[in-house]
Structure 1
């Protein structure tokens, strides 16, 4: 659980760093890049320990990556709707279902036990 929690919070920071500036298109690019780097700095303080804890707990690197991608999609979906006012469509659901399938495949060896 610590891995999932840390990856979720780190993705909140990274989504804000990568896409939060879209609400401030009137600001100079160099300012939003510096602010984004500052936010991403804190994201790394969560993502790196999340992956280390997960790896030392028995997750493979591939499992950690797929887990991170699913969390990223969930966090981004909420951010796009709430912060950017975008609408989710059928193709977003399809992409999510593909990631659910990827998750099932990457964790299949854990399910055998």
Structure 2
């Protein structure tokens, strides 16, 4: 399927980006608060993840009209890496190194093959 910038092609990407922001906070946001009890982190993560599902499910449902399931999953994984890289630097205050960048580029290169006609 060739890519075109129609609303039907863009909305799933936007929704996947937003859902990944929520999921990254659900999975890793609690690392900034390690002194909190684990059960609090779990409950907070589940609460945040609810909103991720409210965005990811429609993204995949609407996106399936434009993209294959493999393309949707690949987009989600690449978006996850991009969101996580920013989250890691700005929220967790961790630095990304050249080996992280090379690994992410290799994953993105692999993802490009999924979209190759």
The CA RMSD measured in Å over matched residues stands at: 0.7
* Residue 60 (str. 1) matches residue 64 (str. 2): no
CA distance in structure 1 between the partners assigned to 2:110 and 2:70 by the alignment: 10
CA distance in structure 2 between the partners assigned to 1:66 and 1:99 by the alignment: 10
Partner of 2:57: 48
Alignment size in residue pairs = 108
For residues 21-32 of structure 1, the aligned pairs below 5 Å read 21-32=30-41
Q: For structure 1, list consecutive stretches of 5 or more residues without a partner in the other structure.
A: none
CA distance in structure 2 between the partners assigned to 1:78 and 1:31 by the alignment: 25
Instruction: Report deviation, 1:30.
Output: 0.4
What's the TM-score, normalizing by structure 2? 0.89
* Residue 89 (str. 1) matches residue 97 (str. 2): yes
More displaced 10-residue stretch of structure 1: 92-101 or 63-72: 92-101
Q: Name the SS for the 1:9 alignment partner.
A: helix
What's the TM-score, normalizing by structure 1? 0.92
